[in-house]
Structure 1
């Protein structure tokens, strides 16, 4: 899935997917009224992207390719 991101490496692939998921999560939280002042459109997706990149890097170190 999302094979077009494989050429950039596993950490980048995971960072992009987690950034999109973080943005979607913030959007849904704000839409349904569950958002607070600490949940915003800038820091939450960036934090998700950093976590995804770290997860992708750890997975790459284990020898996984996807």
Structure 2
């Protein structure tokens, strides 16, 4: 299986950051009507997306 290209990794990082941003914006608009467990799940999702982006950046840094 070929290694993902630099552009592909950057696209993955950007997509993860954009998704985390979208979740945070949604939370900020809906917090009053959300259950605490739903807020916690959304924050966990953001954390996972940010960690995915960080992992991709670490891989890219190691390849440089």
What TM-score do the two structures reach when normalised by structure 1?
0.48
Q: Which has the higher helix share?
A: 2
What TM-score do the two structures reach when normalised by structure 2?
0.49
